[in-house]
Structure 1
Amino acid sequence: MSECYRYIYLQNENLKSSESFKDSYIRNGISLYEVIRIISGKAVFLEEHYARLCNSAKQINVNIWYDFPKFKNCIQILTEKNDVQEGNIKLVFNIKEKQKNFFAYFIKHSYPDNELYKNGIRTIIHQAERSTPTAKIYNHELRSRTNNLIQEAEIFEVILLDSLGNITEGSRSNLFFVKDNTLYTAPDDKVLHGIVRGKVITIAEKLHINICKEAIKFSELDKYESAFLTGTSPMILPIKTINAINFSVSHPILNRILSEYKTMIKENLL
C-alpha cells in the first residue's frame, strides 16, 4: 500500500489522483524531504521546515528548485484540494540521475492520545546510525527496520545507539534528558536538527534552563531523572521507559517547557 494518503497529490505542478502514486517515486535516487503538520488548516513552523530542507540540500551539494512562496503555495493547494484541517504533509525533492521531481502529499498520521502525554511512552534501544545525521534524506532500509521493531515490541519509538555506545536520537524524533535542573541533548552534529528540538532549546533559553549538548552514554542512562522526545507529530512527549529504565513523566522542567510550547503553537497559528 502506498504511503500517499487522501485524494490528491502534487507532482511538480500537476495535481494527480493518489491512487496513481507509487512509493518507488521517492525510494529511487536521492529524496530530500520534510513532514509538515497541519493544524486548523495551517502549516506549523513552515519557514523553519523550508530552511532545514535547504540546509539538507546544501550538505549534498544540490539546490532546492522551489523558492519559499512556491513551496508555501503547494501546501495551500494540497490542503484545499483535499479539504483537510488536521494532518501531515510530506514534501519530497527527488533527484534521480539528471531527472528532478517534486512531490507533495498527505501521509497517514498517528498523534499520541492524552493518556500517552499523561503517562509517557515505552521505547527500546536499537544500534543504528544515519550516514548523514544532520540532513533529512529518506532511508527506506532504516525506516522499515525501525517500523518493524515498533510493531513487534508494541512500543511508540525506537531509540538509536551509535557505535560508541551513545544515545543519539529516535528513529523519527529527537531526544532530551533532565538531570540536576539541566536539559541534556546530543551534540548538534550527531542528530537531525528537528524543528521542535530547536523550539525546545529556544524555550529553555527563555526560561533560563541550563542546556548541555553532549554525548548521552547508554551506560549512564539511569542517572537521568526525566526524558522526552520531540517531533512533528508527537510535539513534546514524555518517555516512561527506555528498555527497562524508568523516567519521571511529570518533571517540573518538562512541564514548564510543554506549557510554553503550547503557547508558541497557538501564536504560530494566528
Structure 2
Amino acid sequence: MKECSQYKYLHNSKLRDTSEFRNEFFRRGLSLYEVIRVMNSKPVFLKEHLIRLENSAKQVGQFVWLNYSELVEKIEMVISRNGVRNGNIKIVFNIHQNNRNFYCYFVHHNYPDSQAYLEGVNTVVYNAERSHPNAKVYNHELRTYTNSIIESPEIFEVILMDNLNHITEGSRSNLFFIKADRLVTAPDDMVLNGIVRGKIIEICARMGIPVFKEDIPFETLSNYDAAFLTGTSPQILPIRSINAISFDVNHPLLKQLLEAYRKEIVHYFELI
C-alpha cells in the first residue's frame, strides 16, 4: 500500500499529487524522519519533534538542512492544502550520495478505538535491535516484517527484544511497565526517546511518581502489574497481553496517567 495519503505531498518546495508518490523514494540512502500527530489542524508537540529530528541527524553524522521556521511553514502548507483536521503527518530527509531530498506528507494512521483503551491490546515479542536506537532512521527490513505481524487484527504492536533478551520498545512505540506505584522503562540509550514517552516522564516528575530506567529481562515480565504503550498514534494505550502474559488494564496508576496526559494535551492547545 502507498504510504502517502490525502491529495498532495511536498517534495522539497513543490506540491505534487499523491498519485506521483512512490514508497521507493526512501529505499536508497539514509532517511531521517518524524511522524507528527495533527489535531484540530495543528501539529502536536512540533518543537519537540524537530529537536529530536536534529538529534537523530547528529547521531548518524548528518544534518537537517531546513531551519525551524522553514519546516513549520512547509508542514502548515501540507496541512492547509489537504484540508486535514486530524491525522499523522510525516517529514523525511533523504540523503543518497550527493542528493538531498525533503518530503512532507500525510500517512495512513491506525488510531486505537475506545474499546482498545478500555480493554487494552495484544502484543507479541520479536527479537530485533535497532542499529541506532536514539535516531529515527528508516529501517525497511524491520518495518516490513513488523508491519506483516501487525496486519493481524489480533495484534496491535510488536515488542522488540535485544540479543540479551531484554525488552526495549515497540516497533513504533515506547513501552512502560507498572509495579505497585512506580514505572519502569528501558534505559534511554536503548530506545528511541519518544515525544509522548518524554511527556509521561515529565508528568510523573510533577506528580511524584518514581520512574526507573533499567533493563527489563523477558523472564521478569510476569512480575509487573500493568503495561502500556506510548506513541504518536496510540498516545497512552494499555497492554492486555505480551505473548501469553496478561496485565491489568484497570490499574489505578495507569488510569491516573491516562487522565493526566489528556489534560497535558488540553493545556498544550491552550498555549498555542
Secondary structure in structure 1 of the residue aligned to 2:135:
coil
Rounded Cα–Cα distance in structure 2 between residues aligned with 1:141 and 1:268? 36
Aligned residues: 270
Distance 1:110 1:152, change over 3 A: closer
* TM-score normalized by the length of structure 2: 0.98
Look up the match of 1:254.
254
Q: Offset at 1:255?
A: 1.2
Residue deviations 1:206-260 (CA, integer Å, cap 9, x gap)? 1100110000110010000000000000000000000111101111111111111
Rounded Cα–Cα distance in structure 1 between residues aligned with 2:252 and 2:74? 40
Residue deviations 1:114-163 (CA, integer Å, cap 9, x gap)? 00000000001111111111100000110010111122473100101110
Look up the match of 2:84.
84
Look up the match of 1:8.
8
Rounded Cα–Cα distance in structure 1 between residues aligned with 2:67 and 2:260? 31
Rounded Cα–Cα distance in structure 2 between residues aligned with 1:102 and 1:19? 18
Rounded Cα–Cα distance in structure 2 between residues aligned with 1:151 and 1:75? 29
Rounded Cα–Cα distance in structure 1 between residues aligned with 2:105 and 2:72? 13
Q: Which runs of 4+ in 1 moved over 6 A?
A: none
Look up the match of 2:138.
138
* TM-score normalized by the length of structure 1: 0.98
Look up the match of 1:23.
23
Rounded Cα–Cα distance in structure 1 between residues aligned with 2:194 and 2:176? 12
Q: CA RMSD in A?
A: 0.9
Secondary structure in structure 2 of the residue aligned to 1:155:
coil
What amino acid sits opposite 2:259 in the alignment?
S
Secondary structure in structure 2 of the residue aligned to 1:216:
coil
Rounded Cα–Cα distance in structure 2 between residues aligned with 1:28 and 1:190? 26
Rounded Cα–Cα distance in structure 1 between residues aligned with 2:181 and 2:86? 35
Rounded Cα–Cα distance in structure 2 between residues aligned with 1:122 and 1:252? 20
Rounded Cα–Cα distance in structure 2 between residues aligned with 1:70 and 1:269? 22
Look up the match of 1:195.
195
* Uncovered stretches (5+) of structure 2, i.e. residues with no partner: none
